[in-house]
Amino acid sequence: RKEVEQDPGPFNVPEGATVAFNCTYSNSASQSFFWYRQDCRKEPKLLMSVYSSGNEDGRFTAQLNRASQYISLLIRDSKLSDSATYLCVVNNQAGTALIFGKGTTLSVSS
Amino acid sequence: GAVVSQHPSWVICKSGTSVKIECRSLDFQATTMFWYRQFPKQSLMLMATSNEGSKATYEQGVEKDKFLINHASLTLSTLTVTSAHPEDSSFYICSASLVGGGPEAFFGQGTRLTVV
């Protein structure tokens, strides 16, 4: 089983749509969870951290289920500028580095 | 946020030559930096953890003699791809975290290496 698994997509949605991404991770000892955004040929940028209590930042909501080792990201009212690849990220077993999922590609069209 | 600068942004080299990539933390000291590689439509794969003043820790399957890492100061880590081959063509990217600042990683801009 891969350390971090995501549905690669692509997800093609119209502006204003709500879209959800899912991610599972294999290391039950992971303590830190994130969603990063990566635009084509660019470095990843932190979108938001993910907490057990769930957290929201504007149109973005992240959820963590430790029992199921499952992370989600919900984007409401999609904008054209949301088009990117969304990376699910957890820390490694030693807690020293980040392990990335393959990414889920989102394309928002007008 | 913390700034990490990576240089060069892109490089084209001939097979058999070596290429050095620099990763600098501009406004903070990084005792640990990380080197990743990303092939097209693939995830970022951790290659090695670079520790200031000591040997780097390489992930399984990464040849330490081919990918030389030097972390001689608290603000600079270098990755040298030795005797590069076309299969080494990839996007190489470094990251660093703030000591005591949580696990969030700050990334350099990445280096796109093409070996011809």
Which are the contacts of B46, defined by CB distance < 8 A and separation ≥ 6?
A: A92, A97, A98, A99, B34, B35, B36, B59
The reply to whether residue A41 touches residue B112, judged by beta carbons under 8 angstroms, is yes
Average pLDDT of chain B, as a whole number:
90
Q: Which residues of A touch B43 (CB under 8 A)?
A: 4, 87, 100-103
pLDDT-above-70 percentage for chain A = 96
Question: Which of A30, A45, A98 to mutate: most B Cβ within 10 Å?
Answer: A98
Mean pLDDT of the region A59-76: 95
Return the pLDDT at B1.
65
pLDDT of B11 higher than 90 = yes
Q: Higher-confidence residue: B1 or A100?
A: A100
Q: Do the beta carbons of residue A70 and residue A24 sit within 8 Å?
A: yes
The pair of structure tokens assigned to A101 is 């999922």
Judged by CB atoms closer than 8 Å, whether chains meet at B34 and A95 is answered as no
Q: What is the DSSP letter of B59?
A: P
Q: Express each pLDDT in A89-98 by its tens digit.
A: 998 766 677 8
The token pair at B90 is: 């990839």
Q: For testing the chain B interface, which of A43, A85, A87 should be mutated: the one with the most B CBs within 10 Å?
A: A43
Contact status, residue A22 vs residue A6, Cβ threshold 8 Å: yes
SS3 state of residue A81: helix
Q: Measured between alpha carbons, how far is residue B18 from residues A69, A84, B85, B113 in Å?
A: 42, 33, 10, 11
State the nearest Cα–Cα gap between B67 and chain A, in angstroms: 18
The fraction of chain B above a pLDDT of 70, given in percent, is 95
**SS3 assignment, position B86:** helix
- Residues of chain B positioned with their CB less than 8 A from the CB of A34: 103-104
Best-predicted range by mean pLDDT among A48-52, B16-20, B38-42, B97-101? B16-20
Q: Which of B5, B23, B35, B43 to mutate to test the interface with A (most CBs of A within 10 A)?
A: B43
Report the share of chain B in percent with pLDDT over 90.
68
DSSP for residue B88:
G
Q: Which amino acid is at B104?
A: E
In this predicted model, what pLDDT tens digit does every residue of B58-96 receive, in sequence order?
Answer: 999 999 999 999 998 889 999 999 999 999 999 999 998
Helix-strand-coil percent breakdown of chain A, rounded to 5? 5, 50, 45
What's the average model confidence in pLDDT over B30-47? Answer: 89
Among A31, A32, A102, select the one facing B43 at the smallest CB separation: A102
Checking if the pLDDT of A20 tops 70, the result is yes
